[in-house]
Structure 1
Amino acid sequence: MARAIWKGAVSFGLVNVPVRLYAATGEHDIHFHQVHRSDGGRIRMKRTCSVCGEEVAYDEVAKGYESPDGKLVVLSDDDFSDLPVASGHEIDVLQFVPADQVDPILLSKPYYLEPESRAAKPYALLREALAETDRMAVVKIALRQRESVAVLRVRDKAIVLQTLLWPDEVRDADFEVLETDVELRPQELKMAASLVESLAGDFHPEEFEDEYAAAVKTLIDARLEDADAAPSAAAEEGSDASGTGGPRGGEVVDLLTALQRSVERARGGPSKDEPTEDAAPAAEGTTARTTATKKAAPAKKAAAEKTPAKKTAAKKTTAKKTSGAAKKTTGARKSA
């Protein structure tokens, strides 16, 4: 575990739990530098003034706010020093709320709370109380001189503090199409529920992987083995997008029929009237994509083999591009 980023105590009622705060997540994105294509030199960004055109030293940079009507206000360090700054090393529990009342869209950055050795018992007491009542503790905490609202929740044997977005930071789903009256037949609802049940399972996040990140790492490793290779050629323009969408030409497939076929495919049995390649419903594509995203498992391979021909064509296109890239790399090595 990395260094603790905060030390303090959780206070609820008369109970005080000394804790240390650790970041619970870490991104695994691959970070790139901007370089000069011809010689690999790093690109350095200069701070220049749009008025005088001169380069500005960091100690001469100030914070400025531009109003919607174009007025500019420049604020100094002294201006900020006069503001009330949130500080303190106490996590005050404001209330305990039902867990299902906390909208997941509000959840932001998670942190683990580690108790000090002398606080193991009150920590366990708070953890078990939250788990037993299926509630979260709403708290306030000052992190990096900014006050945040957060919740305490239980994950395995640890208490997680997860900061919340402020309500005005969440945007409304303002889509006119959602106001359209849609008539759903009982048969369609029943078949949709049947499809959900046929694909039901327990969520195991380790079964999924970031295929793009893995492919980028493989590409980088291959290029590192041949560091003297010439700069790669520009990516081929355009791509074969055919066969990646749903029915052709805006064709609409009967929803109930699509759901029926999807259920039958998910259960592993052929449909009574197996559709042709051209008439494959969009719902089948959804089933195939769900299966392909997971790591290969024996039970899932059969479903992947039944993916429509259009999916197979897309895979061939991908394989063709990968093969082309491999040939270019091989050619570059030979020329070197």
Structure 2
Amino acid sequence: MITAAALAGYALLVGAVVPYGLVRAGWPHRAPAVAVLAWQGLSLTFVVAAALAAYHLVFAGRHVHDGLVGLLSACGLTAHPPAESTPAGASDLALLTAPAMIVLFPLAWLVRTAWQARRERRRHAALLAVIGTESAEHGATVVEHRVPAVYCLPGRVRRIVVTRGALEILTAEQLRAVLAHERAHIRGRHHLLQVAAKAFARAFPGLPLARLAREQTALLLEMIADDRALRLHSRDALATAMCEVAAGRAPEAALGAGGRSALIRLRRILAPEAKPRPVTWAGIAAASVTAPFLPLLVTC
């Protein structure tokens, strides 16, 4: 019971306390890629800790004293269980339902969310084939719409969409900067991380970690794309382009340069802060990767 309480407390800490500290921290906006890794690491840590806490709780001493070997024996994954343990029976397998569901439930939501996102992208791509015009000059699909908007449709049907309003209001340099932002989304496969964060939020709707991870991942992915665009284009060009297309809204399955996060990103672009030292972000990355293994060490 002590181990179950420790693991449950660890899951509660990761799921309800640490996320607020991470949101208030100043370094994520200075190292968005590392921050995305931190959010993903916290999500995985919560699932592992919660599943192992449920395992220790439902067995209440049976197999638990054998550590990880006992867990594998209960699952039928080892041919040589410890000498003092009893063979896994039907009741043991039934009890494993609770910890198994904690793992399988978010995986099921991941599959469903990925399928829904793919379906929406295909549907929007079919619509663009009817109402859009391919522009070889810009390498994008032009849609006759007055509201300035630029967004990308990732996945297999990759394409960048630009409205006529954006072409009329943006200068050549501003347009190149915002197109570079969208290409960064496509090349970085940011939609996969967005799907993972969305699926985790659907699996655990009342969990602060799930809500904040989804919100912050979306913001941080935009910052990552901003940084990639700034490698080739000026801050003024990108910032001005973002202001012009801020009112444009991208479809649910797409990634857009404007949107609600534009103001936060504008401040970051126009008033850049020093990036964390390599030792700092390397330590954060290492902690994000190793955090999910701490509950396993307790079980071992």
Q: Give the TM-score taking structure 1 as reference length.
A: 0.19
More helix, by proportion: 2
More strand, by proportion: 1
Larger Rg computed on CA atoms:
1
Larger RCO (CA under 8 A, 6+ residues apart): 2
